[in-house]
Structure 1
Amino acid sequence: MSAPSSDPRLDGSVVAIDAGHQAVCFYRHYPHPVAEVWLQLSRPSLLRHWLAAADRLDPAEGGSVVLRWLNTDPEGRTVIATGTVTAFDPPSLLQLDLDPHGRVRFELTDEGGGTALAFSASLPAPIDEPAQVLAGWHLHLDYLAQALAGGEVDWQAWDQATEWEPLRAAYAEALGAG
C-alpha cells in the first residue's frame, strides 16, 4: 500500500517490511550539509525545535531515549515515547526503537552540499490509522526543514486543525480510507 503521487505534498508512503511489519517512508532533500542535519537529529536541545523534547537521548548504540511530544495527539494527550538507540553511526544513521512509534530510522546521505534523508517508521502490520501516522511524520519532517532554516515550531500555538488535520485527510483520501 502506498500513497499515490497525484498530490505532490503527499510524499509519504506505506510499504510492507515483512509479514508482520509495515513502515511509513519518506525521502526528503534538505539544502544543508549532512553535519547540520545530523545535529538536528542527535542534539537534544535542537530536537525540541522540530520533533519533541528529548528528556533523555544517550548518543550511542544501546543508549536510552525518552521523547516528550510538545504538541498533543489527536485525542489531546501528550505522547511520551521511550526506548533505545539501536543504531548510531554519526553523521549518517540514527535508529531508535520507540514505544509507541516503532523503529524510527533516519539515514543521511551527502548530495553535494545538501542532504538526502531516508526516513522510516516501522510498526506491526497492519499500521493502525496509517493516514494519521503519515501526516504526523510528514509534518515533523517539514518542521525539520524549518529548524534547519533557523526557525522552530511554536508548540504553544500549534493547532491540530490547521497543521495536522488537512494532511491527515489528504493521506486518508490518497490511501482510499476517505
Structure 2
Amino acid sequence: MNSRAQTREPQPDGSIVSVDAAHDAVVFYRHLSHPVAQVWPYLSRPALLRRWLAAADRLDPAEGGGVVLRWLNTDTEGRTVIATGTVTAYDPPTLLQLDLEPHGRVRFELADEGGGATLAFSAALPAPIERPALLLAGWHLHLDYLAQALDGGAVDWPGWDPARDWQPLHDAYVARGL
C-alpha cells in the first residue's frame, strides 16, 4: 500500500504547545472511525505497531516495562532510528505513555466518540523544540498510517520514499511557520 494519496494536498493538523517552562509538545487530535477496543491493539501489540509505526523489538505491557522501537523507515538523513525507553503509563484500553530517547514523552490517549474513537497524541521534548516542522511531519505521517492500518492497510516500508511520503507534509508545516 502506498503511504499517502498522491492527489491530496497535505492538511497539517498538528501543533506545538507549551507543557511547562522546560518542555514543549507536538500535539495532534484525531478522530478515528474505529472504536477504542479496535484501536488499542494497534498501540500496544508489536505485530500491529509494525504496520504503522515501528518494529517493537521490546514492548513490556505494564508501567515500568521496557521499550525498544526500531523505525522501519529512515530519517531524513537515511539513518534507521531506534528509540529506547520505559512505559511510564499503561491503562488499557485508553492510555499508553512511553518515555523514549530520542522522542521524548510520547502519549496516546483514546476515548470513545460517536461510533469511533478520538486520539489525543503528544510528544513532549525539552523546549524549544528544534526543527518542529520535521517532528510534526513525521508524527503526522505515522498517525495517517495508523488510520490506514485500522482500515486493513500496512505501510510498504521497503518502498517508503521520504521525498514522496514525508516532504509534502514537512513543506506544509514550514508554510505554516513551524
Q: Of 100, 103, 106, which aligns to 1:101?
A: 103
Map of 1:67 onto structure 2:
69
Could you report, residue by residue, the CA deviation over 1:7-34 in whole angstroms, capped at 9, with x for unpaired residues?
9811100001111100000000011010
Could you report, residue by residue, the CA deviation over 1:98-123 in whole angstroms, capped at 9, with x for unpaired residues?
00000000000001320000000000
Shift of 1:53: 0.2
Map of 2:166 onto structure 1:
164
* TM-score when normalising by structure 1: 0.93
Q: Of 116, 125, 128, which aligns to 2:127?
A: 125
Aligned counterparts, 1:7-156, within 5 A: 9-156=11-158
* Structure 2 unaligned residues grouped into runs of 5+: 1-8
Kindly indicate whether the alpha-carbon contact (under 8 Å) linking 1:92 and 1:109 is maintained by their aligned counterparts in 2: yes
SS across alignment from 1:153: coil
Kindly indicate whether the alpha-carbon contact (under 8 Å) linking 2:95 and 2:109 is maintained by their aligned counterparts in 1: yes
Q: Of 168, 172, 175, which aligns to 1:173?
A: 175
CA distance, structure 1, for counterparts of residue 21 and residue 90 of structure 2: 26
**What's the % identity of the aligned pairs?**
74
RMSD after superposition? 1.1
CA distance, structure 2, for counterparts of residue 66 and residue 29 of structure 1: 27
Shift of 1:55: 0.1
CA distance, structure 2, for counterparts of residue 17 and residue 42 of structure 1: 25
SS across alignment from 2:38: helix
Kindly indicate whether the alpha-carbon contact (under 8 Å) linking 2:10 and 2:168 is maintained by their aligned counterparts in 1: no
Could you report, residue by residue, the CA deviation over 1:108-148 in whole angstroms, capped at 9, with x for unpaired residues?
00013200000000000010100000000000000000000
* TM-score when normalising by structure 2: 0.93
Letter in structure 2 aligned against 1:42: S
Shift of 1:172: 1.1
SS across alignment from 1:87: strand
Letter in structure 2 aligned against 1:84: T
Higher relative contact order (CA 8 A, sep 6+): 2
SS across alignment from 1:127: coil
CA distance, structure 2, for counterparts of residue 154 and residue 8 of structure 1: 20
Kindly indicate whether the alpha-carbon contact (under 8 Å) linking 1:34 and 1:113 is maintained by their aligned counterparts in 2: no
CA distance, structure 2, for counterparts of residue 40 and residue 122 of structure 1: 21
Q: Tell me the number of residue pairs that the alignment of Structure 1 and Structure 2 aligns.
A: 170
Letter in structure 2 aligned against 1:101: H
